[in-house]
């Protein structure tokens, strides 16, 4: 009996722990750890955020730079959480892009006065006061209480310079680069700081590569060189506590190369612009006038598991709430007039026929 008790008491789960000093991390299933994408709705869609050790690829739209919205929020979220960042782009001065990053909104501080005014007008029970005025998009807060796991970022307000003026941001220009050797060495040195071990996770890093395979890069015609770089980058990410986000234009690549890049991604997203005046699409969808683009989720990373991910929807509308905050919503079909026939998904008994029948109501 004593031996049985000893066996039960000696049992311990093999799950990596997160120290109290570490911010911006969230536990997931099967021992997976998440970091936020910087968009609360996208975190909910993906089941918590981006998995540590995963490669996220975003397919760009040549007609609109909507991929920049995802990249800016991803970078700002990491800088707010004091997570080191490596940014690479085809511009000559990639550091200038840091000045366009959005600043996190402070709903708690801004809503204090409004909460007090509402409490004067409304009388609620004391046990419900703790829920009054609580932000809806607060997924998880760190122990320090400084910033949330995922913030709402104001696209009109630039990020304070003290977030990226330190030594936690590295910027690399890949324009006019003959090959990807220099970028690969930078990524390897950066990921070496976040090597994964069986103990606790002390810190997490982020890598953002903008417009990979752009025509400004001399290696854009070397298909196998680009594929081998992404393959090695994915292997390095697996053994590190970091997330890599790469955006690339599939329309400028051969179909075979684009398909291989999509296959190597752990999480695959794509953005698409919406024409200003598409009368057919405006009749089909509700809230069309507020949409600026579409986000498609092609693949969701699931590490340490073989269970497939079943999403409620794969296409979402991109909207700017109050022209400041990035919001993702499911597509809703607009109501169809009864005279034009039945809408999609309705049965024959509820059609828009004008003939009276025993089951019509």
Tell me what pLDDT residue 306 has.
81
Q: Is the pTM of this model over 0.75?
A: yes
Stated as kind and residue range, the H or E segment containing 109 is helix 107-110
* Other CB atoms within 10 Å distance of the CB of residue 282: 16
CATH topology assigned to domain 25-58+65-104+149-271? Rossmann fold (3.40.50)
**Domain extent listing, the chain:** 25-58+65-104+149-271
Tell me what pLDDT residue 138 has.
43
Q: What is the DSSP letter of 68?
A: H
Tell me what pLDDT residue 339 has.
42
Distance CA 83, CA 324 (A): 24
Tell me what pLDDT residue 335 has.
72
Q: Are 271 and 294 in contact (CB under 8 A)?
A: yes
Tell me what pLDDT residue 351 has.
42
Provide DSSP, 271-336. Answer: EEE--S--HHHHHHBTTGGGEEEEEEEEE---TT--PPP--S-SEEEEEEETTTEEEEEE--BPP-
Tell me what pLDDT residue 44 has.
94
Q: Are 198 and 238 in contact (CB under 8 A)?
A: no
Distance CA 144, CA 14 (A): 26
Task: Find the radius of gyration of the CA atoms of the chain.
Answer: 24
Distance CA 110, CA 205 (A): 30
β-pairing, 50-51 vs 153-158, is unpaired
**Total residue length of the chain:** 361
Distance CA 285, CA 178 (A): 46
Phi, psi angles (nearest 5°) of residue 209: -115, 115
Tell me what pLDDT residue 246 has.
97
Distance CA 51, CA 242 (A): 9
Ranges of beta strands (E only) in the chain are 26-27, 33-35, 50-51, 55-59, 85-89, 102-104, 153-158, 169-173, 205-209, 242-248, 267-273, 291-299, 315-321, 325-330
Distance CA 134, CA 324 (A): 20
- The angle at the Cα of 83, spanning 184 to 171, to the nearest 5 degrees, equals 40
Per-residue pLDDT of the chain (361 residues; tens, 9 = 90+): 444 444 444 433 444 444 334 568 998 888 889 999 999 999 999 999 999 999 999 999 988 899 999 999 999 999 999 999 999 999 989 999 999 999 998 755 444 444 434 444 455 555 555 555 444 434 444 444 456 789 999 999 999 988 887 778 999 999 888 889 999 999 999 999 998 875 677 789 999 999 998 888 888 888 999 999 999 999 999 999 999 999 999 999 999 999 999 999 999 999 999 877 777 777 888 888 889 999 999 999 988 888 878 888 999 999 998 889 999 999 887 776 544 433 333 334 444 444 455 555 4
Phi, psi angles (nearest 5°) of residue 103: -100, 145
Distances (CA, A) of 338 to 23, 41, 334: 54, 34, 13
Tell me what pLDDT residue 87 has.
96
């Amino acid at each position: 009996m004593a031996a049985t008790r000893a066996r039960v008491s000696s049992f311990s789960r093999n799950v990596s722990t997160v120290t109290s000093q570490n911010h911006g991390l969230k536990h997931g299933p099967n021992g997976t750890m998440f970091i936020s994408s910087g968009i609360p709705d996208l975190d909910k869609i993906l089941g918590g955020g981006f998995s540590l050790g995963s490669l996220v690829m975003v397919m760009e739209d040549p007609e609109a730079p909507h991929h920049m919205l995802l990249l800016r929020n991803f970078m700002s979220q990491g800088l707010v959480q004091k997570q080191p960042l490596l940014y690479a782009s085809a511009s000559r001065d990639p550091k200038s892009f840091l000045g366009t990053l959005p600043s996190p909104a402070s709903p708690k501080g801004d809503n204090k006065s409004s909460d007090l005014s509402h409490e004067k007008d409304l009388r609620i029970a004391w046990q419900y006061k703790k829920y009054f005025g609580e932000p809806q998009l607060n997924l998880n807060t760190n122990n320090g209480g400084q910033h949330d796991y995922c913030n709402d970022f104001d696209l009109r307000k630039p990020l304070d310079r003290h977030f990226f003026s330190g030594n936690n941001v590295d910027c690399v220009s890949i324009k006019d680069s003959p090959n990807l050797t220099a970028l690969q060495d930078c990524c390897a040195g950066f990921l070496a700081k976040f090597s994964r071990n069986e103990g606790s996770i002390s810190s997490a890093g982020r890598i953002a590569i903008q417009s990979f395979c752009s025509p400004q890069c001399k290696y854009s015609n070397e298909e196998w060189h680009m594929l081998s770089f992404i393959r090695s980058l994915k292997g390095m990410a697996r053994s590190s506590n970091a997330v890599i986000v790469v955006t690339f234009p599939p329309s400028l690549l051969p179909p075979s190369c684009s398909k291989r890049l999509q296959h190597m991604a752990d999480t695959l997203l794509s953005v698409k612009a919406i024409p200003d005046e598409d009368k057919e699409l405006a009749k089909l969808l509700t809230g069309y006038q507020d949409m600026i683009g579409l986000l498609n989720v092609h693949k969701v990373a699931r590490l340490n598991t073989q269970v497939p991910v079943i999403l409620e929807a794969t296409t979402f509308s991109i909207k700017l709430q109050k022209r400041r905050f990035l919001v993702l919503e499911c597509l809703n079909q607009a109501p169809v007039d009864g005279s034009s026939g039945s809408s999609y998904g309705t049965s024959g008994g509820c059609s828009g026929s004008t003939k009276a029948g025993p089951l019509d109501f």
